[in-house]
């Protein structure tokens, strides 16, 4: 596991929408837009499952995930990889359910996806493209 630096945390917190890539056990790829991604601590991202279909079935078969962190007009771009665990009851799930309700009262969180960060790469264009940062 790795911990995001303060600068990386700032970039994450300033990002509204992320692209989340998953793959089935046979390697069939999927990508989904997500907005409900919260940096709970420098090593952990909580993602709310309100609408996942292929994403959820992929996660059940293969816990590896990649997230793109990029916002138009904001310098910096990260690719964050990690391992996830799906939590559908208990105190952490209840906490996420309430956080989703606070942000979007019309949404019901069906599951909490807990992502532990394992790798971070630079995905800006230029000399540092693709460089491992953590």
Ligand X SMILES: Cc1cc2nc3c(=O)[nH]c(=O)nc-3n(C[C@H](O)[C@H](O)[C@H](O)COP(=O)(O)O)c2cc1C
Which stretches of the chain bind ligand X, using CB under 6 A?
Answer: 17, 30, 32-36, 48-55
Specify the residue, 110 or 122, whose C-beta has the smaller distance to ligand X.
110
CB of 59 to ligand X, least distance (A): 9
Residue 55: name the closest of 7, 115, 6 by CA. Answer: 115
Instruction: Between 33 and 90, name the residue whose CB sits nearer to ligand X.
Output: 33
The alpha carbons of the chain give a radius of gyration, in whole angstroms, of 15
- Closer by beta carbon to ligand X, 110 or else 134: 110
**Shortest CB 41 distance to ligand X, Å:** 19
- Which is it for strands 78-87 and 64-69: parallel, antiparallel or unpaired? antiparallel
Q: b/e string for 45-63 if b means 16 or more Cβ within 10 A?
A: bbbbbeebeebbebbeebb
3-class SS of residue 57: helix
Instruction: Give the nearer residue to ligand X in terms of CB position, either 15 or 49.
Output: 49
Alpha carbons 88 and 60: distance in angstroms, whole number:
13
Provide the minimum distance between the beta carbon of 86 and ligand X in the complex, in angstroms, as a whole number: 12
Quote the least distance from Cβ 23 to ligand X, whole Å.
12
């Amino acid at each position: 596991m790795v911990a995001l630096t303060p600068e990386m945390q700032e970039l994450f917190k300033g990002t509204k929408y992320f692209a989340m890539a998953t793959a089935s056990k046979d390697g069939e790829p999927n990508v989904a837009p997500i907005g409900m991604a919260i940096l709970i601590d420098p090593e952990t991202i909580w993602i709310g499952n309100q609408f996942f279909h292929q994403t959820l079935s992929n996660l059940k078969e293969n816990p590896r995930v990649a997230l793109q962190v990029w916002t138009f007009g904001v310098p910096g771009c990260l690719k964050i990889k990690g391992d996830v665990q799906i939590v559908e009851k208990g105190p952490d799930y209840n906490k996420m359910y309430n956080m989703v309700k606070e942000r979007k009262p019309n949404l019901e969180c069906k599951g909490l996806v807990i992502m532990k960060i394992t790798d971070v790469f630079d995905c800006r264009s230029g000399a540092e493209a693709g460089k491992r940062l953590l």
